[in-house]
Structures are given as structure tokens and as C-alpha cells.
Structure 1
Amino acid sequence: MDFDQFHETLRTLYDQMMPLCGNMTGVAKGIAGLGALFYVAHRVWQSLSRAEPIDVYPLLRPFAIGLCIMFFPTVVLGTINSIMSPVVQGTHGMLQSETFDMQKYAEQKDRLEYEIMRRNPETAYLVDNDIFDAKLEEMGITDVGQKVGLYLEKELYDIKKWMRETFRELLEIIFKAAALVIDVIRTFFLIVLAILGPIAFGISVWDGFSSTLTQWITRYVSVYLWLPVSDLFSTILARLQSLMLQADIDRMQVDPDFSLDHSDMIYILFMIIGIVGYFTIPTVAGWIISAGGMGNFGKNVNQTATKGGAIAGGAAGAAAGNIIGRLKGR
């Protein structure tokens, strides 16, 4: 599955939904205009009643917000997105670099495992079909029982390898799906905040609702940071995987009898931790810029992460138990 295509589709969806902000501009202008009338009148009459000079500077606030509403997609969203875009590009570049290194070490480990097993006379026939056929020819026609044993042993090895690769691919799919879930929720929040942004700006003109403007900005920036934080988390995980692969490669070069079963179990536990860790990204983004009003969402995300981790852990334990059982039976 090409998860990168799904992420690109979400970016396209966000870009195509941005013109819908114009549908809310007219309503926001009316709300802001009526609020500006009361805002200015209240302060002018307050100053006149106290025989004080009128301070013009605070009266410019409704007009500045009105200009932001009129040019909301370009001035507000364009400015925020252009400022935050380098952060997204920087973290994505880090992720690509670490992912490339991880794939390089994974390929090196697979080649080394194949070479070690091929050099060992006792396991060479399991990975090399030519050696397997040559060994069958050496046995002759009468050694039917030994031939059946070789076929069964090679078949068990292929099944074991298939189960290991299948389970690893399943965890990797769940791992990437967790990142996709975060990106889908992020895109939904950004679209809702962007489309209803003019309304929030218009309401902020009214007395008593001035904090709506700062809350909208902090929430938008906080949600926007989910993607950079997700890329940083993936970068850390990719680096950790690279270190694990390097350690396995070093041990395989020193000890030809090194078993990969222990390494596979560590990899499975590592993937489960990564899946659960993805759902902590909104909390980490909230540490960078505090956005109020999202406590219930964080609570629900933590509960989902706990349940997802329990399900993934149970599945991993059952699969690992099956693999160990087959190994003992062998």
C-alpha cells in the first residue's frame, strides 16, 4: 500500500477546500461590522461621559480584524502556512534521510543472513535451490525417507520465514495506518478551523469574545504542528531501527550462529510501542504551543491508544507464541 499517496491526497483535499472560506466571509463581515459598531460606540461614549480624550489606537482593532476577514485565505491562512511550511519541509527531509538509511541497513542485513546461511553446509540447502537439488542427487534414489525429511525441513523454514515476514508487514501496515489516522484527523481539524475561521474573527470583535482570536490562532498552529511532530517521531523511530539493524549486523558478522528470533521479537515489541506512541502526538504538539479546549480530545486519544496497544499486544503475543511453538516443534 502506498501510504504516501494517501498523505498527498490529504494535502490536495486541504488545498481544494480552502476556497470555501469565502462562503463564510459575508456572514463574518456582518458579525464583525455590528460588533465594531458597538465596540467603537461603547468606548467613545465612555470617554465622553468621563470628559477624557478619545484614544483612537484601541479603536483600530475592529478595522484590522475586518481587513483580515476580507482577505482571510491569503492574509491569515497564507501567512500562517508560509511561516509553518519550512518546519514541515525540514522535518520531512529528516524523515526521508533516516528512512533511506534504515532501508539500506535492512537490505544489508538480509544479504548477510543469506550469505551466512549459504556458507554453512548445514543450512545452505534451505536458502539455495541449486544446492538443495544437488543434495537430493547425492542421496540417490533409495534414500526416499531422507529426501522427504529434507523437503519437510525446507518447507518448515519457508513457512517460518513467511510467517515472520507476514507478521512484520502487518505491524508495519498498522504502524503506517496510525500515522495516517493522525494525518486524517489533522486535515479535518485544519479544514474546519480554516472554513469557520472568518466567523471566529468576526466574533472576536465583540466585547467578551476577544480571546476567540488568540484561541483560534493557537489551535490552528497546534494542529498544524501535528505533521512535523509526527515526522520527528517517525525520524526517531527510523533512527532507532537503524541502530538495531546495525547491532544485528555487527553480531551476525562476529557470531555466524546468531539467531534472528530474538531480534524479531524485539522488533515486534518496538513496532507496538511505536503504534501506541503515534497517538501521543497531539499531546506533544500541545506542549509546543498551548491550545485550550482540546482536553477531551486528548483524553479520547489516550484511551484509544491504550486500547489499540492492548489489541496489538495481544495479537503480537499470540503470533509470537505460534512462531515459538513451531520452532520448538521443529
Structure 2
Amino acid sequence: MDFDQFHQTLRALYDSMMPLCGNMIGIAKGIAGLGALFYVAYRVWQSLARAEPIDVYPLLRPFALSLCIMFFPTIVLGTINSIMSPVVQGTNGMLQSETLDMQRYADIKDKLEYEAMRRNPETAYLVDNEVWDAKLEALGVMDVGTKAGLYIERAAYQLKKWIREAFRELLEIIFKSAALIIDVIRTFFLIVLAILGPLAFAISVWDGFQSTLTQWISRYISVYLWLPVSDLFSTILARLQSLMLQSDIDRMQTDPNFSLDSSDVIYIVFLIIGIVGYFTIPTVAGWIISAGGMGNFGKNVNNTATKGAAMAGGFGGAVAGNIAGRLKGK
């Protein structure tokens, strides 16, 4: 599954949905026009009743909002997206750089693991087909039991490796899916805010609803920041994984008998923690710019993260205990 392509599809979906703002502009202009009429009439009447000069400057507010409604996709969305786009590009560049480094260290680790097992006469036949064939040829016809033992050991090693790789791939898919879930929800929120944005601007013309404008802007920017925060979180995880791989590489180069079982357990627990951590992104984005009205969503996300952390802790403890018992038995 190409997750990067799916992220690009979400970007294209957002761009393709933006013309739907035009369907709301006509309704919003009517609401804003009626609100501007009452807004101006009330203040003009108030100044005349008090025999005060009419202050024209506050009366320009509904006309400015009406101008924003008429050219909403260009003036409002275009301006906000142009300002925030460099932030997204910068964090994505950091993520791509760290991902390349992580992949490079992972390839080096796999190569060192293969070479270490190949150099060891006791494990070379498990990974090298030539050594395996030579070992079978060296046995006689009567060594049926030994050959059966070798086949069992090789099958057990391959099964163990397959299970380990399959479980790691499953967790990696869930890990990437968590980031994809955040991006899908973010795109949905942005599309809804963008399409109904003209209505929010129109309602803010009316007295008593002026805060609707600032709330819409703060929510839109807060949701828009989910992607940069997600990229930063992924960058931190990639750097941490690169440091873990570097540590394993150094230990493999200095200690030929270094076992990767404990390293695999740490990596699995690390993936689970990363999955849970992705669901804290909306909360972190809310720290950058406060957006009201999203309390229930944040509460549900925090509850999910708490339950996931408990599951991760229990699973990690069980797996770590199992590995520790196996190592102790050896």
C-alpha cells in the first residue's frame, strides 16, 4: 500500500472540493447583507438619538466581511493556505530527510545481521543455501536423524523469522494507518470549514455573533497545523529509530554474539507507542493556537490514547518477559 500516494490523494481531494464554496457564497451574501442593514441602521439610529456625530469607521466592518465573502476562496482560503503552506513544506522536508537516514541504517543492520550469521559456522546453514547444501552432502546416507534435525532447525528459524517480520509489518501498517487517519480527519474538517466558511463570515456580521469570525479562523488554522505536527512527530520517531539502529549496528560490530531478540522487542514496543502518540496530535496542535468547540473530540482522542497506552504497556511487558525468560533459559 502506497501511503504517500494516499496522502497526495487527500491533497487533491481538498483542492477539488474548494469550488463548492461558491454554492454557499450566494446564501452567505444574503445573510450578510441583511445583517449589514441592521448593523448600520442600529448604529446610525443610536448616534442620531444621542445627537452624536456618526462614526463611519465601525460601519465599514460589514462591508469588509462582505468583500471577504464574495472572494472567499481567493482572499480568505488563499491567504491562509499561502501563509501556512511553507510550514507544511518545511516539516515534510525534515521528515523526508530523517526517513532516508533511517532506511539507510536499516539496510546496514540487515546486512550486518546476515554477515554475522553467515560467518558463524553454527548458524551459516540457516541463511546461506550453499552452506546448507554442503552440510547435507557431508552427511552420509545413514545420518537420517541428523538431516531431519537440520531440516527442523532451518524450518523453525525461517518460521520464527517469518512471524517476526509479519508482525513487524503489521505494526508498521497500523503505524502508518494512524498517521493516515489523522490526515483523513484533518482533510474532512478543513473541507467542512472551507465550504461553510462563507456562512460563518456572514453570521459574524450580526451583533452578538462577532466571535464566530475569530473562532472559524482559529479552528481552521488549528486543524491545518495537524499535518505539520504529524510530520514533526514522525520526524522525531524516525530520528529515535535511527539512533536505535546506530546503537544496534555499533554493538553488532563490537560483539559478534550480540542477539537481536531484545532489539526486536524494543522496536515493537516503540511502534505501539508511536501508534498511540499519533492520536495526541490534535491536542498538541491545540496548544499552538487555541480553538474552542473541539472539547468532545479532544476528550475522545485522549481516552483512546489512554486505553492504547495501557494495552501497549501490557503487551510490551508480556513480550519482554517472554524474551527475558528465553534468554535466561539459554
**Residue identity in the other structure for 2:307:** K
**Residue identity in the other structure for 2:41:** A
Counterparts of 1:167-316 in structure 2, within 5 Å, are 167-311=167-311
Tell me if structure 1 keeps the 8 A contact 2:25–2:70.
yes
Q: Quote how far apart the aligned CAs of 1:306 are.
A: 2.6
TM-score if structure 1 supplies the norm length?
0.96
**Residue identity in the other structure for 1:79:** T
Q: Quote how far apart the aligned CAs of 1:312 are.
A: 5.4
Q: Quote how far apart the aligned CAs of 1:252 are.
A: 0.4
User: 1:181–1:313: structure 2 CA closer, same or farther, 3 Å change rule?
Assistant: farther
Q: Quote how far apart the aligned CAs of 1:315 are.
A: 5.9
Tell me if structure 1 keeps the 8 A contact 2:7–2:183.
yes
Structure 1 SS opposite 2:36: helix
Structure 1 SS opposite 2:54: coil
Tell me if structure 2 keeps the 8 A contact 1:95–1:232.
yes
Q: Distance in 1 between matches of 2:146 and 2:27?
A: 84
Residue 150 of structure 1: aligned partner: 150
Residue 79 of structure 1: aligned partner: 79
Q: Deviations over 1:30-72 (max 9, x none)?
A: 1100110111111111111112111111110000000000000
Q: Distance in 2 between matches of 1:16 and 1:321?
A: 51
**Residue identity in the other structure for 1:279:** F
Tell me if structure 2 keeps the 8 A contact 1:160–1:323.
no
Q: Which runs of 5+ in 1 are unaligned?
A: none
Larger mean Cα displacement after TM superposition, 210-219 or 149-158: 149-158
Residue 52 of structure 1: aligned partner: 52
Q: Distance in 2 between matches of 1:19 and 1:308?
A: 39
Q: Distance in 2 between matches of 1:94 and 1:317?
A: 33
User: 1:185–1:23: structure 2 CA closer, same or farther, 3 Å change rule?
Assistant: same
Q: Deviations over 1:262-320 (max 9, x none)?
A: 00111111111100000000000000011111111100111122334445566666777
Structure 2 SS opposite 1:121: coil
**Residue identity in the other structure for 2:245:** L
Q: Deviations over 1:168-220 (max 9, x none)?
A: 11110110011011001101100000000000000000011001000000000
Q: Quote how far apart the aligned CAs of 1:9 are.
A: 1.3
Q: Distance in 1 between matches of 2:328 and 2:26?
A: 72
Q: Distance in 2 between matches of 1:202 and 1:24?
A: 10
Q: How many residue pairs are counted as aligned between the two chains?
A: 330
Larger mean Cα displacement after TM superposition, 137-146 or 112-121: 137-146
User: 1:126–1:329: structure 2 CA closer, same or farther, 3 Å change rule?
Assistant: farther
Q: Which runs of 5+ in 2 are unaligned?
A: none
TM-score if structure 2 supplies the norm length?
0.96
Tell me if structure 2 keeps the 8 A contact 1:279–1:302.
yes
Q: Could you say what the CA RMSD is over the residues aligned between the two structures, in angstroms?
A: 1.8
Q: Distance in 1 between matches of 2:162 and 2:89?
A: 37
Tell me if structure 2 keeps the 8 A contact 1:272–1:313.
no
Q: Distance in 2 between matches of 1:173 and 1:312?
A: 16
**Residue identity in the other structure for 1:112:** L
Q: Distance in 2 between matches of 1:263 and 1:145?
A: 34
Residue 105 of structure 1: aligned partner: 105
Tell me if structure 1 keeps the 8 A contact 2:219–2:291.
yes
Q: Distance in 1 between matches of 2:107 and 2:98?
A: 14
Residue 42 of structure 2: aligned partner: 42
User: 1:322–1:251: structure 2 CA closer, same or farther, 3 Å change rule?
Assistant: closer
Larger mean Cα displacement after TM superposition, 227-236 or 117-126: 117-126
Structure 2 SS opposite 1:268: helix
Residue 127 of structure 2: aligned partner: 127
Q: Distance in 2 between matches of 1:179 and 1:19?
A: 27
Verify: 1:64 aligned to 2:64, yes or no.
Answer: yes
Structure 2 SS opposite 1:257: coil
Tell me if structure 1 keeps the 8 A contact 2:282–2:298.
yes
Larger mean Cα displacement after TM superposition, 175-184 or 40-49: 40-49
Structure 2 SS opposite 1:251: helix
**Residue identity in the other structure for 1:40:** V
